[in-house]
Amino acid sequence: MESNSQSAELLDLRGVPCPQNVSRLLLKLGGLDTGTVLEVLLDSGEPFDNVMESLSVEGLEVVELVEKDLKYKRIKVTAN
């Protein structure tokens, strides 16, 4: 089994309303070292859509997207 040199940190934003979820995510990413992977749990629907749009505007790339079920999604974002 391979191990990553940078382990992923977790930010659970399920139940956090817009735009607070975006603010918390961007603050967390800003405090991480470049290259650190942040795993984020998000409610499906509008919260997910708003976060994805904000990440795109900020020039941040989602490196993984997994639909856990109809209620929430998991994404991984790399800090830069």
21-69 pLDDT per residue, tens: 999 999 999 999 999 999 999 999 999 999 999 999 999 989 999 987 8
Q: What's the whole-model pTM score?
A: 0.86
Rounded Cα–Cα distance for residues 40 and 57 (Å): 18
Give the CATH H-level superfamily of domain 9-78.
TusA-like domain (3.30.110.40)
pLDDT of residue 7: 62
Per-position b or e across 41-53, b if 16+ CB within 10 A of its CB = bbbeeebbebbbe
**Residue 58 burial by Cβ neighbours in a 10 Å radius (0-12, 13-18, 19+):** middle
pLDDT tops 90 at residue 5: no
Beta bridge partners of 78: 37
